[in-house]
Structure 1
Protein backbone atom coordinates (compact mmCIF):
# COMPACT_ATOMS: atom_id res chain seq x y z
CA UNK A 1 0.00 0.00 0.00
CA UNK A 2 2.81 2.34 0.89
CA UNK A 3 4.46 1.66 -2.46
CA UNK A 4 1.19 2.22 -4.30
CA UNK A 5 0.62 5.51 -2.45
CA UNK A 6 4.16 6.64 -3.24
CA UNK A 7 3.70 5.80 -6.94
CA UNK A 8 0.37 7.68 -6.95
CA UNK A 9 2.02 10.69 -5.30
CA UNK A 10 4.86 10.66 -7.85
CA UNK A 11 2.29 10.43 -10.66
CA UNK A 12 0.36 13.41 -9.22
CA UNK A 13 3.58 15.43 -8.94
CA UNK A 14 4.50 14.56 -12.55
CA UNK A 15 1.01 15.61 -13.71
CA UNK A 16 1.27 18.87 -11.76
CA UNK A 17 4.71 19.63 -13.22
CA UNK A 18 3.37 18.90 -16.70
CA UNK A 19 0.47 21.30 -16.08
CA UNK A 20 2.90 23.93 -14.82
CA UNK A 21 5.04 23.49 -17.94
CA UNK A 22 1.97 23.88 -20.18
CA UNK A 23 0.82 26.99 -18.29
CA UNK A 24 4.33 28.42 -18.45
CA UNK A 25 4.40 27.96 -22.23
CA UNK A 26 0.96 29.60 -22.54
CA UNK A 27 2.06 32.48 -20.31
CA UNK A 28 5.26 32.91 -22.32
CA UNK A 29 3.26 32.98 -25.56
CA UNK A 30 0.86 35.53 -24.08
CA UNK A 31 3.77 37.63 -22.82
CA UNK A 32 5.36 37.52 -26.26
CA UNK A 33 2.04 38.47 -27.85
CA UNK A 34 1.62 41.36 -25.40
CA UNK A 35 5.19 42.51 -26.12
CA UNK A 36 4.45 42.37 -29.86
CA UNK A 37 1.22 44.33 -29.32
CA UNK A 38 3.04 46.97 -27.26
CA UNK A 39 5.76 47.26 -29.91
CA UNK A 40 3.15 47.61 -32.67
CA UNK A 41 1.18 50.23 -30.73
CA UNK A 42 4.36 52.14 -29.92
CA UNK A 43 5.31 52.15 -33.61
CA UNK A 44 1.84 53.37 -34.59
CA UNK A 45 1.88 56.06 -31.91
CA UNK A 46 5.33 57.19 -33.07
CA UNK A 47 4.02 57.59 -36.63
CA UNK A 48 0.99 59.57 -35.44
CA UNK A 49 3.11 61.90 -33.32
CA UNK A 50 5.62 62.52 -36.13
CA UNK A 51 4.00 65.88 -36.87
CA UNK A 52 4.67 67.12 -33.38
CA UNK A 53 8.19 65.65 -33.49
CA UNK A 54 9.24 67.67 -36.54
CA UNK A 55 7.91 70.88 -35.05
CA UNK A 56 9.39 70.02 -31.66
CA UNK A 57 12.85 69.61 -33.22
CA UNK A 58 12.76 72.93 -35.06
CA UNK A 59 11.19 74.80 -32.16
CA UNK A 60 13.62 73.55 -29.53
CA UNK A 61 16.63 74.15 -31.76
CA UNK A 62 15.40 77.73 -32.24
CA UNK A 63 14.88 78.13 -28.49
CA UNK A 64 18.62 77.68 -27.90
CA UNK A 65 19.41 80.52 -30.32
CA UNK A 66 21.23 83.32 -28.52
CA UNK A 67 22.96 81.11 -25.97
CA UNK A 68 26.76 81.14 -25.95
CA UNK A 69 28.32 78.23 -27.81
CA UNK A 70 29.88 76.68 -24.70
CA UNK A 71 26.51 76.79 -22.92
CA UNK A 72 24.38 75.27 -25.69
CA UNK A 73 24.62 71.63 -24.56
CA UNK A 74 24.02 72.42 -20.83
CA UNK A 75 20.93 74.41 -21.85
CA UNK A 76 19.65 71.55 -24.04
CA UNK A 77 20.22 69.13 -21.14
CA UNK A 78 18.34 71.46 -18.74
CA UNK A 79 15.37 71.64 -21.14
CA UNK A 80 15.47 67.84 -21.61
CA UNK A 81 15.21 67.37 -17.83
CA UNK A 82 12.29 69.80 -17.79
CA UNK A 83 10.69 67.78 -20.59
CA UNK A 84 10.98 64.58 -18.54
CA UNK A 85 9.30 66.33 -15.59
CA UNK A 86 6.52 67.49 -17.94
CA UNK A 87 5.92 63.94 -19.11
CA UNK A 88 6.06 62.62 -15.53
CA UNK A 89 3.06 64.89 -14.88
CA UNK A 90 1.25 64.27 -18.16
CA UNK A 91 1.47 60.46 -18.37
CA UNK A 92 -0.26 59.72 -15.00
CA UNK A 93 -2.84 62.42 -15.77
CA UNK A 94 -3.59 60.82 -19.14
CA UNK A 95 -3.86 57.35 -17.58
CA UNK A 96 -6.21 58.69 -14.90
CA UNK A 97 -8.42 60.24 -17.56
CA UNK A 98 -8.50 56.95 -19.46
CA UNK A 99 -9.78 55.22 -16.30
CA UNK A 100 -12.29 57.71 -14.85
CA UNK A 101 -13.39 59.47 -18.05
CA UNK A 102 -12.54 57.39 -21.14
CA UNK A 103 -15.22 59.30 -23.08
CA UNK A 104 -12.96 62.37 -22.82
CA UNK A 105 -10.16 60.81 -24.90
CA UNK A 106 -11.76 61.57 -28.29
CA UNK A 107 -12.63 65.20 -27.41
CA UNK A 108 -9.09 65.70 -26.06
CA UNK A 109 -7.69 64.14 -29.22
CA UNK A 110 -9.80 66.52 -31.31
CA UNK A 111 -8.60 69.48 -29.25
CA UNK A 112 -5.01 68.32 -29.76
CA UNK A 113 -5.65 68.06 -33.51
CA UNK A 114 -7.19 71.55 -33.58
CA UNK A 115 -4.22 72.94 -31.68
CA UNK A 116 -1.81 71.35 -34.15
CA UNK A 117 -3.71 72.88 -37.07
CA UNK A 118 -3.87 76.28 -35.36
CA UNK A 119 -0.15 76.21 -34.58
CA UNK A 120 0.69 75.26 -38.17
CA UNK A 121 -1.51 78.01 -39.62
CA UNK A 122 -0.05 80.54 -37.18
CA UNK A 123 3.46 79.60 -38.31
CA UNK A 124 2.45 80.17 -41.92
CA UNK A 125 0.92 83.52 -41.00
CA UNK A 126 4.08 84.59 -39.18
CA UNK A 127 6.19 83.46 -42.15
CA UNK A 128 4.16 85.10 -44.92
CA UNK A 129 2.02 87.69 -43.13
CA UNK A 130 3.03 91.22 -42.09
CA UNK A 131 5.79 91.51 -39.49
CA UNK A 132 4.59 92.33 -36.00
CA UNK A 133 6.35 94.97 -33.87
CA UNK A 134 6.85 92.47 -31.01
CA UNK A 135 8.74 90.08 -33.35
CA UNK A 136 11.17 92.85 -34.30
CA UNK A 137 11.50 93.83 -30.64
CA UNK A 138 12.33 90.23 -29.68
CA UNK A 139 15.11 90.02 -32.27
CA UNK A 140 16.53 93.37 -31.12
CA UNK A 141 16.44 92.17 -27.50
CA UNK A 142 18.30 89.01 -28.46
CA UNK A 143 20.99 90.93 -30.35
CA UNK A 144 21.37 93.34 -27.42
CA UNK A 145 21.74 90.47 -24.94
CA UNK A 146 24.56 88.96 -26.98
CA UNK A 147 26.37 92.24 -27.63
CA UNK A 148 26.09 93.89 -24.19
CA UNK A 149 28.60 92.48 -21.65
CA UNK A 150 26.60 94.04 -18.81
CA UNK A 151 23.55 91.90 -19.51
CA UNK A 152 23.10 89.08 -16.98
CA UNK A 153 23.51 86.10 -19.31
CA UNK A 154 22.70 83.64 -16.49
CA UNK A 155 19.28 85.24 -16.03
CA UNK A 156 18.85 85.40 -19.82
CA UNK A 157 19.74 81.70 -20.08
CA UNK A 158 17.27 80.78 -17.32
CA UNK A 159 14.51 82.64 -19.11
CA UNK A 160 15.31 80.76 -22.31
CA UNK A 161 15.13 77.44 -20.43
CA UNK A 162 11.81 78.36 -18.79
CA UNK A 163 10.33 79.37 -22.13
CA UNK A 164 11.53 76.18 -23.80
CA UNK A 165 10.13 73.99 -20.99
CA UNK A 166 6.76 75.77 -21.22
CA UNK A 167 6.67 75.17 -24.97
CA UNK A 168 7.69 71.55 -24.43
CA UNK A 169 4.76 71.07 -22.01
CA UNK A 170 2.29 71.96 -24.78
CA UNK A 171 4.01 69.77 -27.36
CA UNK A 172 4.37 66.90 -24.87
CA UNK A 173 0.66 67.16 -24.04
CA UNK A 174 -0.12 66.81 -27.76
CA UNK A 175 2.13 63.74 -28.00
CA UNK A 176 0.58 62.10 -24.93
CA UNK A 177 -3.01 62.79 -26.05
CA UNK A 178 -2.39 61.45 -29.57
CA UNK A 179 -0.69 58.36 -28.11
CA UNK A 180 -3.52 57.83 -25.62
CA UNK A 181 -6.02 57.92 -28.47
CA UNK A 182 -3.97 55.25 -30.27
CA UNK A 183 -3.98 52.85 -27.27
CA UNK A 184 -7.42 53.72 -25.83
CA UNK A 185 -8.73 50.16 -26.35
CA UNK A 186 -5.63 48.44 -24.93
CA UNK A 187 -5.22 47.06 -21.41
CA UNK A 188 -3.90 49.30 -18.63
CA UNK A 189 -0.50 47.57 -18.67
CA UNK A 190 -0.16 48.12 -22.41
CA UNK A 191 -1.25 51.75 -22.09
CA UNK A 192 1.37 52.36 -19.40
CA UNK A 193 4.09 50.64 -21.43
CA UNK A 194 3.30 52.55 -24.64
CA UNK A 195 2.92 55.96 -22.98
CA UNK A 196 6.12 55.59 -20.98
CA UNK A 197 7.96 54.20 -24.01
CA UNK A 198 6.82 57.03 -26.28
CA UNK A 199 7.73 59.63 -23.63
CA UNK A 200 11.28 58.29 -23.29
CA UNK A 201 11.77 57.76 -27.04
CA UNK A 202 10.51 61.23 -27.93
CA UNK A 203 12.52 62.98 -25.21
CA UNK A 204 15.76 61.16 -26.06
CA UNK A 205 15.18 61.48 -29.79
CA UNK A 206 14.19 65.15 -29.83
CA UNK A 207 16.84 66.49 -27.47
CA UNK A 208 19.55 64.20 -28.79
CA UNK A 209 18.90 65.54 -32.29
CA UNK A 210 18.61 69.12 -31.00
CA UNK A 211 22.02 68.76 -29.34
CA UNK A 212 23.45 67.52 -32.63
CA UNK A 213 21.81 70.27 -34.66
CA UNK A 214 22.95 73.16 -32.46
CA UNK A 215 26.56 71.89 -32.55
CA UNK A 216 26.64 71.43 -36.32
CA UNK A 217 28.15 74.88 -36.84
CA UNK A 218 30.89 74.09 -34.30
CA UNK A 219 31.65 70.86 -36.15
CA UNK A 220 31.79 72.76 -39.42
CA UNK A 221 34.18 75.35 -37.99
CA UNK A 222 36.37 72.63 -36.50
CA UNK A 223 36.64 70.78 -39.81
CA UNK A 224 37.23 74.03 -41.70
CA UNK A 225 40.36 74.66 -39.61
CA UNK A 226 41.92 71.29 -40.41
CA UNK A 227 44.87 70.92 -42.79
CA UNK A 228 43.27 68.32 -45.08
CA UNK A 229 41.43 69.96 -47.96
CA UNK A 230 38.61 67.40 -47.89
CA UNK A 231 37.94 68.22 -44.23
CA UNK A 232 37.85 71.93 -45.05
CA UNK A 233 35.40 71.26 -47.86
CA UNK A 234 33.24 69.12 -45.58
CA UNK A 235 33.33 71.81 -42.90
CA UNK A 236 32.25 74.52 -45.36
CA UNK A 237 29.49 72.21 -46.60
CA UNK A 238 28.20 71.69 -43.05
CA UNK A 239 28.25 75.45 -42.36
CA UNK A 240 26.23 76.07 -45.52
CA UNK A 241 23.84 73.17 -44.88
CA UNK A 242 23.10 73.86 -41.17
CA UNK A 243 20.75 76.84 -41.72
CA UNK A 244 18.99 74.99 -44.54
CA UNK A 245 18.54 71.97 -42.27
CA UNK A 246 16.75 74.19 -39.75
CA UNK A 247 14.51 75.62 -42.47
CA UNK A 248 13.76 72.15 -43.87
CA UNK A 249 12.86 70.83 -40.41
CA UNK A 250 10.57 73.77 -39.88
CA UNK A 251 8.82 73.30 -43.25
CA UNK A 252 8.43 69.53 -42.82
CA UNK A 253 7.26 70.00 -39.25
CA UNK A 254 4.59 72.49 -40.34
CA UNK A 255 3.37 70.22 -43.15
CA UNK A 256 3.24 67.25 -40.78
CA UNK A 257 1.21 69.29 -38.28
CA UNK A 258 -1.52 69.79 -40.88
CA UNK A 259 -1.38 66.15 -41.98
CA UNK A 260 -1.53 64.76 -38.44
CA UNK A 261 -3.91 67.37 -36.99
CA UNK A 262 -6.21 67.24 -40.02
CA UNK A 263 -6.16 63.44 -39.98
CA UNK A 264 -7.26 63.46 -36.34
CA UNK A 265 -10.11 65.87 -37.11
CA UNK A 266 -11.26 63.89 -40.14
CA UNK A 267 -11.34 60.60 -38.23
CA UNK A 268 -13.08 62.32 -35.31
CA UNK A 269 -16.00 63.22 -37.61
CA UNK A 270 -17.22 59.78 -38.78
CA UNK A 271 -19.28 61.00 -41.77
CA UNK A 272 -16.35 63.01 -43.15
CA UNK A 273 -13.81 60.28 -42.41
CA UNK A 274 -15.88 57.53 -44.05
CA UNK A 275 -16.59 59.76 -47.06
CA UNK A 276 -12.89 60.43 -47.65
CA UNK A 277 -12.02 56.74 -47.19
CA UNK A 278 -14.75 55.68 -49.64
CA UNK A 279 -13.54 58.18 -52.24
CA UNK A 280 -9.87 57.20 -51.68
CA UNK A 281 -10.78 53.52 -52.20
CA UNK A 282 -11.87 54.34 -55.78
CA UNK A 283 -8.44 55.79 -56.62
CA UNK A 284 -6.46 52.56 -56.31
CA UNK A 285 -2.82 52.70 -55.20
CA UNK A 286 -2.84 56.48 -54.88
CA UNK A 287 -5.83 56.38 -52.55
CA UNK A 288 -3.89 56.44 -49.27
CA UNK A 289 -1.89 59.47 -50.44
CA UNK A 290 -5.09 61.24 -51.50
CA UNK A 291 -6.68 60.50 -48.10
CA UNK A 292 -3.63 61.94 -46.30
CA UNK A 293 -3.67 65.06 -48.49
CA UNK A 294 -7.40 65.46 -47.85
CA UNK A 295 -6.70 65.32 -44.13
CA UNK A 296 -3.92 67.87 -44.56
CA UNK A 297 -6.24 70.18 -46.50
CA UNK A 298 -8.89 69.85 -43.79
CA UNK A 299 -6.22 70.71 -41.22
CA UNK A 300 -5.11 73.75 -43.21
CA UNK A 301 -8.70 75.04 -43.49
CA UNK A 302 -9.38 74.41 -39.78
CA UNK A 303 -6.13 76.11 -38.79
CA UNK A 304 -6.83 79.14 -41.01
CA UNK A 305 -10.30 79.54 -39.49
CA UNK A 306 -8.89 79.31 -35.96
CA UNK A 307 -6.17 81.89 -36.71
CA UNK A 308 -8.79 84.29 -38.12
CA UNK A 309 -11.03 83.78 -35.08
CA UNK A 310 -8.09 84.29 -32.71
CA UNK A 311 -7.08 87.46 -34.58
CA UNK A 312 -10.64 88.79 -34.41
CA UNK A 313 -10.83 88.10 -30.67
CA UNK A 314 -7.52 89.92 -30.11
CA UNK A 315 -8.75 92.91 -32.09
CA UNK A 316 -12.02 93.03 -30.16
CA UNK A 317 -10.17 92.86 -26.85
CA UNK A 318 -7.72 95.52 -27.96
CA UNK A 319 -10.55 97.72 -29.20
CA UNK A 320 -12.44 97.27 -25.97
CA UNK A 321 -9.44 98.32 -23.93
CA UNK A 322 -9.04 101.64 -25.81
CA UNK A 323 -10.71 104.69 -24.43
CA UNK A 324 -13.68 105.97 -26.40
Structure 2
Protein backbone atom coordinates (compact mmCIF):
# COMPACT_ATOMS: atom_id res chain seq x y z
CA UNK A 1 0.00 0.00 0.00
CA UNK A 2 2.80 2.39 0.92
CA UNK A 3 4.57 1.62 -2.37
CA UNK A 4 1.38 2.21 -4.35
CA UNK A 5 0.77 5.52 -2.54
CA UNK A 6 4.33 6.61 -3.25
CA UNK A 7 3.96 5.75 -6.95
CA UNK A 8 0.67 7.65 -7.09
CA UNK A 9 2.30 10.66 -5.44
CA UNK A 10 5.23 10.53 -7.88
CA UNK A 11 2.80 10.24 -10.79
CA UNK A 12 0.87 13.29 -9.54
CA UNK A 13 4.09 15.26 -9.13
CA UNK A 14 5.22 14.30 -12.63
CA UNK A 15 1.86 15.36 -14.09
CA UNK A 16 2.03 18.65 -12.17
CA UNK A 17 5.56 19.36 -13.40
CA UNK A 18 4.51 18.53 -16.95
CA UNK A 19 1.59 20.97 -16.67
CA UNK A 20 3.88 23.64 -15.24
CA UNK A 21 6.41 23.14 -18.04
CA UNK A 22 3.69 23.35 -20.71
CA UNK A 23 2.06 26.46 -19.26
CA UNK A 24 5.44 28.11 -18.66
CA UNK A 25 6.34 27.48 -22.31
CA UNK A 26 3.09 29.10 -23.47
CA UNK A 27 3.59 32.06 -21.13
CA UNK A 28 7.17 32.49 -22.34
CA UNK A 29 5.99 32.66 -25.96
CA UNK A 30 3.35 35.22 -25.04
CA UNK A 31 5.90 37.43 -23.29
CA UNK A 32 8.68 37.03 -25.87
CA UNK A 33 8.03 40.45 -27.40
CA UNK A 34 8.12 42.20 -24.04
CA UNK A 35 11.31 40.32 -23.19
CA UNK A 36 12.93 41.62 -26.36
CA UNK A 37 12.05 45.12 -25.28
CA UNK A 38 13.19 44.40 -21.71
CA UNK A 39 16.54 43.12 -22.98
CA UNK A 40 17.09 46.09 -25.28
CA UNK A 41 16.12 48.67 -22.65
CA UNK A 42 18.28 47.16 -19.92
CA UNK A 43 21.27 46.85 -22.23
CA UNK A 44 20.89 50.54 -23.03
CA UNK A 45 20.34 51.48 -19.37
CA UNK A 46 23.82 50.29 -18.37
CA UNK A 47 25.58 51.89 -21.34
CA UNK A 48 27.95 54.69 -20.35
CA UNK A 49 28.93 52.95 -17.11
CA UNK A 50 32.64 52.60 -16.40
CA UNK A 51 33.96 49.32 -17.78
CA UNK A 52 34.94 48.03 -14.35
CA UNK A 53 31.46 48.87 -13.00
CA UNK A 54 29.33 47.34 -15.77
CA UNK A 55 28.83 43.91 -14.16
CA UNK A 56 28.22 45.31 -10.64
CA UNK A 57 25.59 47.64 -12.10
CA UNK A 58 23.93 44.79 -14.01
CA UNK A 59 23.93 42.71 -10.81
CA UNK A 60 22.38 45.58 -8.82
CA UNK A 61 19.61 46.02 -11.40
CA UNK A 62 19.05 42.24 -11.52
CA UNK A 63 18.55 42.16 -7.74
CA UNK A 64 16.11 45.05 -8.05
CA UNK A 65 14.30 43.17 -10.81
CA UNK A 66 13.91 40.10 -8.61
CA UNK A 67 12.54 42.29 -5.81
CA UNK A 68 10.09 43.82 -8.30
CA UNK A 69 8.84 40.36 -9.22
CA UNK A 70 8.64 39.34 -5.55
CA UNK A 71 6.14 42.20 -5.17
CA UNK A 72 4.34 41.73 -8.48
CA UNK A 73 3.74 37.95 -8.37
CA UNK A 74 1.73 37.97 -5.08
CA UNK A 75 -0.14 41.09 -6.25
CA UNK A 76 -1.06 39.40 -9.53
CA UNK A 77 -2.21 36.25 -7.73
CA UNK A 78 -4.39 38.29 -5.36
CA UNK A 79 -6.01 40.03 -8.33
CA UNK A 80 -6.60 36.67 -10.01
CA UNK A 81 -8.14 35.20 -6.85
CA UNK A 82 -10.42 38.08 -5.81
CA UNK A 83 -10.98 40.36 -8.81
CA UNK A 84 -10.17 38.28 -11.93
CA UNK A 85 -12.20 40.61 -14.17
CA UNK A 86 -9.47 43.19 -13.60
CA UNK A 87 -6.88 41.12 -15.52
CA UNK A 88 -8.08 42.17 -18.98
CA UNK A 89 -8.25 45.92 -18.17
CA UNK A 90 -4.76 45.71 -16.65
CA UNK A 91 -3.51 43.94 -19.77
CA UNK A 92 -5.11 46.65 -21.90
CA UNK A 93 -3.48 49.40 -19.84
CA UNK A 94 -0.14 47.63 -20.02
CA UNK A 95 -0.47 47.20 -23.78
CA UNK A 96 -1.40 50.85 -24.19
CA UNK A 97 1.61 51.87 -22.10
CA UNK A 98 3.92 49.84 -24.34
CA UNK A 99 2.44 51.50 -27.43
CA UNK A 100 2.81 54.92 -25.78
CA UNK A 101 6.42 54.25 -24.83
CA UNK A 102 7.24 53.06 -28.36
CA UNK A 103 5.64 56.14 -29.93
CA UNK A 104 7.39 58.43 -27.46
CA UNK A 105 10.70 56.86 -28.42
CA UNK A 106 10.07 57.64 -32.08
CA UNK A 107 8.84 61.17 -31.38
CA UNK A 108 11.39 62.19 -28.76
CA UNK A 109 14.20 59.73 -29.55
CA UNK A 110 16.72 62.38 -30.59
CA UNK A 111 15.97 64.51 -27.56
CA UNK A 112 16.56 61.56 -25.20
CA UNK A 113 19.81 60.69 -26.99
CA UNK A 114 21.05 64.26 -26.62
CA UNK A 115 20.44 64.07 -22.88
CA UNK A 116 22.59 60.92 -22.50
CA UNK A 117 26.21 61.42 -21.34
CA UNK A 118 29.06 60.56 -23.66
CA UNK A 119 29.94 56.86 -23.70
CA UNK A 120 33.51 57.45 -22.52
CA UNK A 121 32.52 59.96 -19.83
CA UNK A 122 32.85 58.28 -16.42
CA UNK A 123 29.85 58.35 -14.13
CA UNK A 124 30.01 59.64 -10.59
CA UNK A 125 28.80 57.27 -7.83
CA UNK A 126 25.65 59.40 -7.48
CA UNK A 127 24.95 59.26 -11.23
CA UNK A 128 25.51 55.50 -11.19
CA UNK A 129 22.99 55.09 -8.36
CA UNK A 130 20.45 57.17 -10.29
CA UNK A 131 21.04 55.04 -13.38
CA UNK A 132 20.43 51.88 -11.35
CA UNK A 133 17.25 53.33 -9.84
CA UNK A 134 16.00 54.35 -13.29
CA UNK A 135 16.71 50.89 -14.69
CA UNK A 136 14.86 49.24 -11.78
CA UNK A 137 11.87 51.55 -12.32
CA UNK A 138 11.79 50.64 -16.00
CA UNK A 139 12.10 46.97 -15.10
CA UNK A 140 9.14 47.26 -12.71
CA UNK A 141 6.86 48.41 -15.53
CA UNK A 142 8.04 45.73 -17.95
CA UNK A 143 8.00 43.05 -15.25
CA UNK A 144 4.42 43.96 -14.42
CA UNK A 145 3.52 43.50 -18.08
CA UNK A 146 5.28 40.12 -18.22
CA UNK A 147 3.60 38.88 -15.02
CA UNK A 148 0.13 40.04 -16.10
CA UNK A 149 0.51 38.48 -19.57
CA UNK A 150 1.73 35.25 -17.95
CA UNK A 151 -1.20 35.33 -15.52
CA UNK A 152 -3.57 35.73 -18.46
CA UNK A 153 -2.28 32.48 -19.96
CA UNK A 154 -2.89 30.51 -16.73
CA UNK A 155 -6.03 32.28 -15.48
CA UNK A 156 -8.07 29.06 -15.81
CA UNK A 157 -5.45 26.90 -14.03
CA UNK A 158 -5.49 25.93 -10.35
CA UNK A 159 -4.04 28.33 -7.80
CA UNK A 160 -0.97 26.16 -7.14
CA UNK A 161 -0.25 25.99 -10.88
CA UNK A 162 -0.56 29.75 -11.14
CA UNK A 163 1.90 30.21 -8.26
CA UNK A 164 4.43 27.80 -9.76
CA UNK A 165 4.17 29.13 -13.32
CA UNK A 166 4.54 32.77 -12.27
CA UNK A 167 7.45 31.87 -9.99
CA UNK A 168 9.19 29.96 -12.78
CA UNK A 169 8.62 32.81 -15.22
CA UNK A 170 9.91 35.39 -12.72
CA UNK A 171 13.14 33.51 -12.02
CA UNK A 172 13.84 32.35 -15.58
CA UNK A 173 13.11 35.74 -17.12
CA UNK A 174 15.30 37.60 -14.63
CA UNK A 175 18.24 35.21 -14.98
CA UNK A 176 17.87 35.03 -18.76
CA UNK A 177 17.49 38.75 -19.41
CA UNK A 178 20.22 39.96 -17.09
CA UNK A 179 22.55 37.13 -18.05
CA UNK A 180 22.23 38.26 -21.67
CA UNK A 181 22.60 41.92 -20.68
CA UNK A 182 25.83 41.09 -18.86
CA UNK A 183 27.09 39.27 -21.95
CA UNK A 184 26.13 42.13 -24.27
CA UNK A 185 27.74 44.91 -22.23
CA UNK A 186 31.00 42.92 -22.00
CA UNK A 187 30.99 41.92 -25.68
CA UNK A 188 33.36 44.72 -26.67
CA UNK A 189 35.72 43.80 -23.81
CA UNK A 190 35.75 40.20 -25.02
CA UNK A 191 36.52 41.42 -28.54
CA UNK A 192 39.37 43.62 -27.33
CA UNK A 193 40.80 40.75 -25.27
CA UNK A 194 40.73 38.36 -28.23
CA UNK A 195 42.24 40.97 -30.55
CA UNK A 196 45.11 41.75 -28.17
CA UNK A 197 45.70 38.05 -27.52
CA UNK A 198 45.69 37.35 -31.24
CA UNK A 199 48.23 40.09 -31.86
CA UNK A 200 50.46 38.86 -29.01
CA UNK A 201 50.33 35.20 -30.10
CA UNK A 202 50.11 35.93 -33.84
CA UNK A 203 46.86 33.97 -33.97
CA UNK A 204 44.90 35.16 -37.01
CA UNK A 205 41.66 33.44 -35.88
CA UNK A 206 41.73 35.19 -32.50
CA UNK A 207 42.46 38.53 -34.17
CA UNK A 208 39.64 38.10 -36.67
CA UNK A 209 37.14 37.05 -33.98
CA UNK A 210 38.18 39.98 -31.80
CA UNK A 211 37.69 42.48 -34.63
CA UNK A 212 34.32 40.88 -35.42
CA UNK A 213 33.11 41.27 -31.82
CA UNK A 214 34.31 44.88 -31.66
CA UNK A 215 32.36 45.68 -34.83
CA UNK A 216 29.35 43.62 -33.73
CA UNK A 217 28.89 45.18 -30.26
CA UNK A 218 27.68 48.68 -31.31
CA UNK A 219 25.57 47.26 -34.14
CA UNK A 220 23.97 44.75 -31.78
CA UNK A 221 22.94 47.58 -29.47
CA UNK A 222 21.34 49.42 -32.40
CA UNK A 223 19.50 46.30 -33.57
CA UNK A 224 18.24 45.59 -30.05
CA UNK A 225 16.92 49.14 -29.80
CA UNK A 226 15.03 48.76 -33.10
CA UNK A 227 13.69 45.31 -32.23
CA UNK A 228 12.68 46.49 -28.78
CA UNK A 229 10.73 49.44 -30.18
CA UNK A 230 9.01 47.26 -32.78
CA UNK A 231 8.13 44.75 -30.05
CA UNK A 232 6.40 47.49 -28.07
CA UNK A 233 3.97 48.16 -30.91
CA UNK A 234 3.44 44.50 -31.84
CA UNK A 235 2.95 43.24 -28.29
CA UNK A 236 0.99 46.26 -27.12
CA UNK A 237 -1.15 46.27 -30.25
CA UNK A 238 -1.78 42.54 -29.92
CA UNK A 239 -2.97 42.95 -26.34
CA UNK A 240 -5.32 45.77 -27.35
CA UNK A 241 -6.67 43.76 -30.31
CA UNK A 242 -7.40 40.75 -28.08
CA UNK A 243 -9.02 42.96 -25.44
CA UNK A 244 -11.49 44.56 -27.85
CA UNK A 245 -13.81 41.75 -28.88
CA UNK A 246 -15.20 43.22 -32.16
CA UNK A 247 -11.69 44.15 -33.31
CA UNK A 248 -10.38 40.71 -32.37
CA UNK A 249 -13.15 39.01 -34.37
CA UNK A 250 -12.45 41.27 -37.36
CA UNK A 251 -8.73 40.48 -37.38
CA UNK A 252 -9.49 36.77 -36.90
CA UNK A 253 -11.87 36.91 -39.88
CA UNK A 254 -9.21 38.52 -42.04
CA UNK A 255 -6.80 35.82 -40.92
CA UNK A 256 -9.26 33.06 -41.86
CA UNK A 257 -9.74 34.56 -45.31
CA UNK A 258 -5.98 34.89 -45.78
CA UNK A 259 -5.45 31.30 -44.54
CA UNK A 260 -7.39 30.03 -47.58
CA UNK A 261 -4.52 31.30 -49.72
CA UNK A 262 -1.47 30.92 -47.49
CA UNK A 263 -0.68 30.23 -43.84
CA UNK A 264 2.19 32.71 -44.10
CA UNK A 265 -0.22 35.39 -45.27
CA UNK A 266 -2.46 34.59 -42.30
CA UNK A 267 0.43 35.23 -39.92
CA UNK A 268 1.37 38.45 -41.71
CA UNK A 269 -2.20 39.71 -41.44
CA UNK A 270 -2.11 39.24 -37.66
CA UNK A 271 1.29 40.91 -37.32
CA UNK A 272 0.27 43.82 -39.54
CA UNK A 273 -2.99 44.34 -37.65
CA UNK A 274 -1.24 44.29 -34.27
CA UNK A 275 1.42 46.68 -35.54
CA UNK A 276 -1.07 49.17 -37.00
CA UNK A 277 -3.24 49.13 -33.88
CA UNK A 278 -0.11 49.55 -31.75
CA UNK A 279 1.17 52.49 -33.80
CA UNK A 280 -2.19 54.27 -33.85
CA UNK A 281 -2.77 53.67 -30.12
CA UNK A 282 0.72 54.85 -29.25
CA UNK A 283 0.68 58.07 -31.25
CA UNK A 284 -2.87 58.93 -30.15
CA UNK A 285 -1.80 58.46 -26.52
CA UNK A 286 1.32 60.61 -27.03
CA UNK A 287 -0.86 63.31 -28.59
CA UNK A 288 -3.36 63.20 -25.72
CA UNK A 289 -0.60 63.28 -23.09
CA UNK A 290 0.94 66.27 -24.86
CA UNK A 291 -2.41 68.10 -24.80
CA UNK A 292 -2.83 67.34 -21.09
CA UNK A 293 0.63 68.78 -20.34
CA UNK A 294 -0.14 71.92 -22.31
CA UNK A 295 -3.44 72.41 -20.48
CA UNK A 296 -1.70 72.01 -17.10
CA UNK A 297 0.90 74.65 -18.04
CA UNK A 298 -1.79 77.20 -18.88
TM-score (norm 1): 0.84
Q: How many residues align?
A: 290
Contiguous gaps of at least 5 residues in structure 2: none
Structure 1 match to 2:136: 165
Structure 1 match to 2:49: 67
- Is 1:224 equivalent to 2:195 in the alignment? yes
- Partners in 2 of 1:271 and 1:39 — Cα distance? 33
Q: CA deviation at 1:176?
A: 0.9
- Is 1:36 equivalent to 2:18 in the alignment? yes
Q: CA deviation at 1:64?
A: 1.1
Q: 1:315 aligns with which of 262, 269, 294?
A: 294
Structure 2 match to 1:298: 277
Equivalent positions of 1:34-183 (< 5 A) are: 34-127=16-109, 131-132=110-111, 136=114, 138-139=115-116, 142-143=117-118, 146=121, 153-183=124-154
Structure 2 match to 1:260: 235
Q: More displaced, 251-260 or 181-190?
A: 251-260
SS in 2 for 1:282: helix
Q: 1:204 aligns with which of 156, 159, 175?
A: 175
Q: 1:185 aligns with which of 144, 156, 166?
A: 156
Q: 2:208 aligns with which of 226, 233, 242?
A: 233
> Is residue 195–residue 210 contact of structure 2 (8 Å, CA) maintained in 1?
yes
SS in 2 for 1:283: helix
Cα RMSD over matched residues?
2.0
- Partners in 2 of 1:144 and 1:57 — Cα distance? 19
- Judged with a 3 Å threshold, the aligned counterparts in structure 2 of structure 1 residues 95 and 218 are, in CA distance, closer, same or farther, namely same
Larger Rg: 1
Deviations 1:23-57 (A, max 9, x none): 65555444333322221211111111112111111
- Partners in 2 of 1:145 and 1:317 — Cα distance? 38
- Partners in 1 of 2:236 and 2:56 — Cα distance? 33
TM-score (norm 2): 0.91
